[in-house]
Amino acid sequence: MLSPFPPDPAEDLNTTTSHGTANTAPLVSVRDLHVRFATRAGSIAAVNGVSFDVLPGRVLSILGESGSGKSVTMRAIAGILPKRTTTIEGSIGFGGTNLVGLPESQMRSIRGAQIAMIFQEPMTALDPVFTVGSQIAESVVRHEGISWTEARRRALDLLELVQIPSAARRMKAYPHEMSGGMRQRAMIALALACKPDLLLADEPTTALDVTVQIQIVLLLRELQRELGMAVMFVTHDVGVAAEIADELAVMYAGRFVEHGPAVDVIEKPLHPYTAGLLASTVHGAERGAVLQPIPGMPPDLTRMPPGCAFAPRCPYAVEACRAAVPQSVAMDTQTVACHRQADGSPLGPLG
Amino acid sequence: MTTAHAAPVPTDVEQVLARAQQGIGYWGRVWERLRADKVTLVVTAVLIAIVLMAVFAPLIATHDPMTGSILGRLKGFGYQGHLLGTDETGRDIFSRLLFGARLTLVSGVLPVVFALIIGGLLGVVAGYFRGGVNTLIMRSMDVLYAFPSILLAIAICGILGSGLENTILALTITFIPPIVRISETVTAQVRTLDFVDAARISGANSATIMRFHVLNNVLGPILIYTTSLISIAIILAAGLSFLGLGVTPPDAEWGLMLNNLRQAIWVDPVLAAVPGVAIFITSMSFNLMSDGLRQAMDVRV
Amino acid sequence: MSTAIDQPRQRPLLVANDLRKHFPLKGKLFGKKSVVQAVDDISFEVHKGETLGIVGESGCGKSTTARLLLHLIPPDAGEVVFDGKAVAKPDGITPNALYRQMQMVFQDSYASLNPRLSIAQSIAFGPIVQGVPRKEALDRAVSLLERVGLAPSIYANRYPHELSGGQRQRVNISRALAFEPKLLVLDEAVSALDKSVEAQVLNLLGEIKSAFDLTYVFISHDLSVVRYISDRVMVMYLGKVVEIGPVDAIYRAPRHPYTQALLAAMPSMSPRRRTEKAPLSGDPPNPIDPPSGCRFRTRCPFAAPVCAEKPPRLVTQAGEDPSHRAACHLYDPVAAHPRAQEVRHAQPLSA
């Protein structure tokens, strides 16, 4: 056999736990979150009533297209939305504290010690004028108040943890001297310096080449398991979500349309949007066949329609869909916000 | 299956159609936005008023700006019909301000216009053609850049001697390098955009690409930058006159008036401040107008 | 050079012969000047009516190849032959004449439209430059807008920033079609689009290909999309062609170790079959001063001394489709690669 890369046997999936039934207290508990931005073009309704929990040590992936509000939701939790132009309503419980309206000083100490974030572009997190080693060591000193010598040792451990080859030498490297994948690893090491309970990942693999992307996804999966952190992973790529998520939430026009164990959401989607998104993702198998894309385009967030935001593009839409925003209801292992699934004759899995 | 139409269902199709039929273009959009911007409207009105006052100075002036009076020196506001008082030789300050506006505006606006024509051309050429042409133009500009702008203007005026023409020439030379640099940067940026490549594979020659694709997109930013230079030019021109390198007495020019009245600061500080206030209002208005223009022209926001 | 068996023996529409483009870097004052070997002696053919997919990671030279084909940058060596006539050669075809028959769609839908021109003006610009009367060119623009699914009454007089990414890419396709070309080079033309919109545009590309009798060169980093749209696929790595062949052969039985790694790195799309091991470690090396011999050898699990000594030739495998060729010493009897025995019994990778 030539291939050094045999396809691996199906991995045992620990998806049986937790969704809805867990008795562990959630680490993050978001309730009815609304985020609006004031712009010259009017008020943009970026997030429109999102509720979910993230349990300790679990990976929630938020899947959505551009403008779906996935990244805004995460930035609201991190408390890094511009204060002046943003209105946040609802509550974001984190370990018993409501983060909405928390003073910046307190927010900063939580963000430093318990919540860390990684980005698509590592240079947003790394300072170009300091070496990678000293940046990580500085963060360790700040959080743990240990000596610099000790902190440098910890920084080296962290670089080894994120599998940077010849880590001792890389300690002295500046961010621009590293390749894209190495910078991404350095940023992850920096985020882990404070031993966070929650890691927020905003499309960290999107800008990477496919052979590097899979390395970073696998690294994050491994670190998450080893360190037992909870991870929120925002992506537009179903494939990446399938690789990392325990639970999957699909966002459309600032709302969760579907939420449940990743396997179930991907294999038997209940919301017409999820089904449409999966159907329009190109697989090799359908070579040359006509694809079944979702018609039309997402709504204008400055003028949200009164009912279900997906109704104008939905093949199943009826009059009721345009009248009121659907509530999330539990169906099997998933929750879905769809009038047609909630009424007397549900549509059932659409995949 | 036919392609799913990506055409959206706009909530207000009628409005969209009406707009399309009106053919409201980019500049129409800019105008719409300018009209909605109160601050810009007010400062533009102020500037128009100043220009009109300068143009019709002989009609508006209450006194002869050159005739003084030994007795009526440095009198306060309203003294014997002198609206803004009199200066150190008893001349009417209000009338001198009106006439002075002519020289001030000319020495503020003309150098910028000249510099825009010369510098804009050089910059766009440097940015579009790169290579040797770029190096030649940009390195020559760097030589001029080595001097702070005020020093450069003073040096040129010092060599050429005082007078309005020399002031204009000195300021023009002073403003060419920054305009070249801005134009070069903007043009080089636009040049790398794909639509320029798309135009090249249309078979269009450099002149056509320059005209339809480059100039169109660089003029806005260059104009905005240039407007912001007018206020600096007015202040510099006033500064040169103040130092005795610009307009020569007894001609009225705001900087010169400020210079002459500075002795009055102990007698009547309010009086001494009048030309300064005029310079301040005018240059501020040009600045704010340039800001407003920038915002209105950035249609994407 | 062999042609595909299943291709009728006719003159290829487009031929690239030993194209080379090296970009000198603004060097240090002293020492050796370095060059980026963006494209290094690549040759391929495109037959009338087919879609040739070009796939590879960042720095592999696929975009430079596109620009070389369109003569947007002159090659350092080699030639482009369109319909039997060499481009910009004494008794060949002028670039201007080439543009009437070959057009390009760029990745960035916004940057490829002049923000100061209305949609109709942008589309009509090319034909007007080529001497079509203004009225006729505008009529053509309007009918093309209709053809790509954008109602002219709404969009003809609009400006690029008023359109969504998908709509702008439809405009760019119309802009290219306005020349009535025979061949379109699509450089990452759907890569920046959301999945649901990407599917719409892929459908459109399929439709207009048969409607206008077009030939495509489709460049992308997305392996799924390339598989979906291509008849033949060319894989590039650091400025070299590593493998070329019919799409099914490339995806079902990849020969070059790099192609195998690329395919193994694709996310699985199912949480039940997760990738367990990254096929390659590290990032692709810098195209400045690439490795000697085979450029993939620094990351290749099969690397042997011979790989550093000489660059591999594109070779076919005895008894198999001669149009499927890989540039790897493993398959070249002359190279006497020590592990060549293993590939005699090569198993096709499961797709």
The reply to whether residue A213 touches residue C265, judged by beta carbons under 8 angstroms, is yes
Residue B109 belongs to what H/E stretch? Answer: helix B93-129
* Residue A324, phi then psi, degrees to nearest 5: -140, 150
Residue A286, pLDDT > 80, answer no
Q: Does A303 contact chain B (CB < 8 Å)?
A: yes
Which of B1, B9, B301 is facing A40, going by the closest CB pair? B301
- Identify how many contiguous H helices and E strands chain B contains and give both numbers: 13, 0
Q: How far apart are CA C279 and CA C281, in angstroms?
A: 7
- The answer to whether B9 contacts A312, with C-beta atoms less than 8 Å apart, is yes
pLDDT classification of C346: cutoffs 50, 70, 90:
very low
Residue with token string 């022209």: B297
Does residue A306 sit at the B interface (CB-CB below 8 Å)? no
Question: Percent of chain A at pLDDT above 70?
Answer: 92
Q: Which of A11, A240, A282 sits opposite C199 (nearest CB)?
A: A282
How confident is the model at residue B216, as a pLDDT? 79
Decide if C150 and B25 are in contact by the 8 Å CB cutoff.
Answer: no
Q: Which two tokens stand for residue C171?
A: 């405009």
Tens of pLDDT along C176-232?
999 999 999 999 999 989 988 999 999 999 999 999 999 999 999 999 999 999 999
Would you call B8 and A296 a contact, using CB atoms and an 8 Å cutoff? yes
Among A18-22, A25-29, C298-302, the least confident range: A18-22
- A-chain residue closest to B1, CA distance: A290
CB proximity C269 to B under 8 Å: no
- Chain B CB within 8 Å of residue A40 CB: yes
C167 to B16: CB separation less than 8 angstroms, yes or no: no
Interchain contact B17–C (C-beta under 8 A): yes
Q: Report whether pLDDT(A271) > 50.
A: yes
CB of A228 within 8 Å of a chain B CB? The answer is: no
Q: Tokens 């005795």, residue?
A: B244
* Subunit contact A243:C277, Cβ cutoff 8 A: no
Average pLDDT, chain A: 88
Grade residue A285 by pLDDT with cuts at 50, 70 and 90. low
Query: pLDDT (tens digit, 9 = 90+) per residue, A299-351?
Result: 989 889 999 999 999 999 999 999 999 999 998 899 999 999 988 777 877 86
Does B12 touch chain A if contact means CB atoms closer than 8 Å? no
Terminal-to-terminal C-alpha distance of chain C: 29
Which of A297, A302, A310, A322 would best serve as a mutation to test chain B binding (most B beta carbons within 10 A)? A297
Convert the pLDDT of each residue in B26-35 to its tens digit.
677 778 788 8
Q: How many whole angstroms separate alpha carbon B290 and alpha carbon B287?
A: 5
Structure tokens at C126: 């090319």
Whether B16 has a pLDDT exceeding 70, the answer reads no
Decide: C224 and A238 in contact? Cβ < 8 Å.
Answer: no
Respond yes or no on whether the N-terminal peptide bond of residue B250 is cis (omega within 30° of 0). yes
Contact A297 B4 (CB under 8 A): no
Strand ranges of the sheet holding C77-82, from the earlier edge strand across to the other edge: C35-46, C14-24, C77-82, C85-86
Extract the runs of DSSP E, i.e. beta strands, from A15-121: 28-39, 42-54, 59-63, 86-94, 97-98, 115-118
A296/B301 CB distance under 8 A:
no
Question: Among A179-193, A237-251, B24-38, C252-266, where is mean pLDDT lowest?
Answer: B24-38
Q: Which residue has the higher pLDDT, B17 or C200?
A: C200
Please state, in angstroms and rounded to a whole number, the distance separating the CA atoms of residues A306 and A299. Answer: 11
Q: Which of C266, C270, C282 is facing A266, going by the closest CB pair?
A: C270
Q: Which residues of C touch A281 (CB under 8 A)?
A: 195, 199, 224, 269
Q: What integer pLDDT is reported at residue B26 of this predicted model? A: 67
Candidates C154, C174, C194, C205: best to mutate against B (most CBs of B within 10 A) is: C154
> Closest chain C residue to B205 measured between Cα atoms?
C129
Å from A135 to nearest chain B CA? 33
Contact state of A286 with C228 under an 8 Å Cβ cutoff? yes
Nearest CA in chain B to C147: B3
- For B111-125, how does the pLDDT look when each residue is reduced to its tens digit (9 = 90+)? 999 999 999 999 999
Best-predicted range by mean pLDDT among B104-108, B203-207, C169-173?
Answer: C169-173
Instruction: Show the beta-strand stretches assigned E in chain C.
Output: 14-24, 35-46, 51-55, 77-82, 85-86, 102-105, 183-187, 215-220, 232-237, 240-246, 314-315, 325-327
| pLDDT for residue B78 is more than 80 | no
Contact A296 B6 (CB under 8 A): yes
CB C46 within 8 A of CB C217: yes
Q: Which residue has the higher pLDDT, B238 or A109?
A: A109
Chains with ≥3 CB–CB distances under 8 Å to C: A, B
User: Using one digit for the tens of pLDDT, what is the confidence trace for A60-105?
Assistant: 999 999 889 999 999 999 999 988 889 999 999 998 899 998 998 9
Least confident of A303-312, C96-105, C157-166, C204-213: C157-166
What residues of C are in contact with residue B25 (Cβ under 8 Å)?
A: 118, 159
pLDDT at A9 over 60: no
For residue A63, give how far its alpha carbon lies from the nearest alpha carbon of chain C (Å): 12
> What pLDDT is stored for residue C28 in this prediction?
57
The pLDDT assigned to B92 comes to 80
Cβ contact, residue pair A297, B8, below 8 Å: yes
B269-297 vs B216-242: helix crossing angle, rounded to 10 = 170
Other residues' Cβ atoms within 10 Å of the Cβ of residue B73: 16
Residues 6+ apart with CB under 8 A from C3: C9, C12, C45, C323
Does the pLDDT value for residue B129 go beyond 90?
A: no
Selecting from C194, C206, C261 the residue whose C-beta is nearest the C-beta of A65 gives: C194
- At B256, the pLDDT band (50, 70, 90 cuts) reads confident
Given a cut of 90, is residue A246 above it in pLDDT? Answer: yes
Cα–Cα distance, A337 to A314 (Å, whole number)? 13
Q: Give B-chain residues touching C111 at CB under 8 angstroms.
A: 193-195
In this complex, is the C-beta atom of B14 within 8 Å of any C-beta atom belonging to chain C?
no
The tokens describing A197, both together, are 């309970």
> Do strands C183-187 and C215-220 pair parallel, antiparallel, or not at all (unpaired)?
parallel
Smallest Cβ–Cβ distance between C247 and the set A66, A287, A294 belongs to A287
Q: Would an 8 Å CB–CB cutoff place B6 in contact with chain A?
A: yes
B11 reaches A (C-beta below 8 A)? yes
Question: What is the pLDDT averaged over residues C21-47?
Answer: 83
- Reading across the β-sheet that carries A334-336, which strands appear in turn? A115-118, A198-202, A230-235, A59-63, A247-252, A255-261, A334-336, A329-331
DSSP at C299? G
Is residue B74 very low, low, confident or very high in pLDDT (cuts 50, 70, 90)?
Answer: low
Q: If pLDDT is split at 50, 70 and 90, which confidence band does B25 have? A: low
A247 and A233 in contact (C-beta within 8 Å)?
no
Q: Which of B74-83, B93-102, C95-104 has the highest mean pLDDT?
A: C95-104
CB atoms B194 and C158 under 8 Å = no
Higher confidence at residue C287 or residue B184? B184
Find chain B residues with C-beta within 8 A of C172's C-beta: 198
* B104, pLDDT greater than 90: no
Distance from CA of B39 to the nearest CA of A (A): 16
What distances in angstroms separate CA B255 from CA B60, B64, B158, B169, B175, one per listed residue?
Answer: 21, 19, 17, 17, 19
Are residues B198 and C104, on separate chains, in Cβ contact within 8 Å? yes
Contact between chains at C200 and A66 (C-beta distance less than 8 A): no
CA-based nearest distance B65→chain C, Å? 49
When pLDDT is averaged across residues C296-305 and rounded to a whole number, the result is: 92
A297 to chain B, minimum CA–CA distance in Å?
A: 6
What pLDDT was estimated at residue C337? 87
Given an 8 Å threshold on Cβ–Cβ distance, is C276 in contact with A3?
no
Q: Higher confidence at residue B186 or residue B73?
A: B186
Nearest to A71 by CA among A88, A100, A46, A42: A46
Tokens 């493993």 found at = C330
Task: Please answer whether residues A290 and A273 qualify as being in contact, where contact means their C-beta atoms are separated by less than 8 angstroms.
Answer: no
Residue A177 pLDDT greater than 70, yes or no = yes
Find the mean pLDDT for residues B260-276.
Answer: 78
Put simply, the answer to whether A217 touches C267 (Cβ < 8 Å) is yes
CA closest to C342 among chain A residues:
A2
Q: Residue A55 CA to chain centroid, in angstroms? A: 14
Average pLDDT over residues C249-274: 92
pLDDT mean across residues, chain B: 79
A323 close contact with B: CB closer than 8 A: no
- Comparing CA positions, the residue from B294, B259, B289 lying closest to residue B46 is B289
Q: How far is B285 from chain C (nearest CA, A)?
A: 28
Yes or no: say if B275 and B286 are a contact pair by the CB < 8 Å rule.
no
Residue B208 contacts C, CB cutoff 8 Å: yes
- How far, rounded to the nearest angstrom, does the alpha carbon of residue C345 sit from its chain's CA centroid? 31
ipTM above 0.90? no
Chain position carrying tokens 């592999």: C60
pLDDT at residue C123 in the model: 94
